[in-house]
């Protein structure tokens, strides 16, 4: 087990708060928990991350981890080393924005392409961007922006930004409604959508709205609020997505080309001050979620577990919860949720991302100004 402490970089005025934080961190490290199907232990791998958002596993065992202020880190759990990657684009770390998701090209071992989603300023506003660069040593080279959401808006919220390559090599990513809810029903904007592009940023000719006048040809599905979790089903290859509702109505959806997922016309959620927003699903013309959380758990990060270290979790879906501060495990029967269980609740962490590692362990990123990267290992 390795840790990368930032204490030597911090001013003396922070020594006492940092000591308290390290005590809490040490208490979590090695702690054992019991779930319905497994006993597991928390291992703290790295500390001192500032609002981490996502991680991706490199073929050689190292990891890329984003921090919202604009840092991309290269972490090696084998020796505890941590290096900062140069060549990252300038981001607008405003409110919910900043450097967000990271993903590798499906043929990364051949081309070294790394993809980033982030918020950046444009036209006096903010917008979700996606770009890629080649990872060469400790630097991203030839970085190029592949996508800029339209329009840029002043609000610093609901950027979406999860990145997923499917088995055919299409690049999918999410764009939130940016706090302008009605725009999620307007195909003339990118707000509240799932986008599908080629790996180099071109529009696939069979995208559903390519031939619709006035529609954005990059759109794959629409009527989403703020999707911050997306993954592929390990057996079917289907795209799964979850999105934040307002006061209730967080949803799991299976995005399909050209379909409308309802926000804000149809929702289980309510206004933060109480009243209903629209009728609840199902409603004609709108796709209903396969599952919803009411009250809201504020989901972020999403992964199917397909490793061999936790055999009784294999096939389960794991979702981070920001508001309810836990890692949620969902058991499925096809597309139906038949069992739910909160994990890590005692630690009170806002869980931002979760990934099933190539080594069979489950990796978790809490969201905090002094956060850690942890993994769950069997204690059975």
Active site residues: 158
Tell me the C-alpha to C-alpha distance, in Å, between residue 352 and each of 196, 365, 368.
24, 6, 9
* Backbone CA torsion sign across 95, 97, 98, 99: positive
In angstroms, rounded to a whole number, what is the distance separating the alpha carbons of residues 152 and 123? 7
**Do residues 218 and 226 touch, judged by C-beta distance below 8 A?**
no
């Amino acid at each position: 087990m390795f840790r990368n402490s930032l204490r030597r970089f911090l001013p003396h005025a922070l020594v006492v708060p940092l000591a308290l934080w390290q005590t809490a961190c040490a208490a979590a490290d090695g702690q054992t928990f019991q779930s319905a199907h497994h006993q597991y232990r928390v291992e703290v791998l790295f500390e001192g991350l500032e609002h981490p958002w996502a991680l991706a596993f490199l073929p050689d065992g190292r990891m890329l981890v984003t921090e919202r202020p604009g840092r991309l880190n290269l972490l090696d759990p084998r020796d505890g080393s941590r290096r900062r990657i140069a060549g990252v684009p300038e981001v607008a770390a405003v409110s919910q924005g900043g450097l967000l998701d990271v993903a590798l090209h499906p043929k990364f071992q051949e081309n070294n392409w790394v993809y980033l989603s982030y918020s950046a300023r444009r036209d006096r506003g903010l917008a979700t961007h996606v770009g890629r660069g080649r990872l060469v040593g400790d630097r991203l080279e030839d970085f190029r922006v592949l996508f800029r959401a339209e329009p840029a808006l002043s609000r610093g919220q609901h950027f979406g930004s999860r990145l997923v390559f499917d088995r055919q090599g299409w690049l999918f990513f999410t764009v939130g409604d940016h706090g302008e809810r009605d725009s999620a029903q307007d195909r003339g904007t990118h707000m509240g959508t799932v986008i599908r592009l080629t790996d180099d940023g071109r529009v696939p000719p069979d995208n559903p709205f390519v031939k619709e006048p006035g529609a954005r040809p990059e759109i794959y599905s629409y009527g989403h609020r703020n999707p911050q979790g997306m993954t592929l089903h390990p057996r079917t290859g289907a795209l799964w997505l979850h999105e934040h509702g307002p006061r209730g109505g967080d949803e799991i959806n299976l995005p399909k080309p050209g379909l409308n997922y309802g926000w804000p016309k149809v929702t289980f959620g309510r206004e933060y001050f109480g009243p209903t927003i629209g009728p609840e699903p199902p409603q004609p013309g709108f796709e209903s979620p396969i599952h919803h959380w009411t009250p809201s758990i504020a989901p972020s990060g999403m992964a199917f577990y397909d490793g061999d270290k936790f055999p009784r979790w294999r096939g389960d879906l794991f979702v981070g919860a920001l508001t309810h501060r836990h890692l949620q495990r969902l058991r499925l029967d096809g597309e139906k949720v038949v069992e739910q269980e909160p994990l890590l609740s005692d630690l009170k962490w806002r869980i931002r991302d979760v990934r099933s590692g190539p080594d069979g362990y489950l990796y978790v990123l809490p969201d905090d100004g002094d956060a850690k990267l942890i993994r769950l290992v069997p204690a059975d």
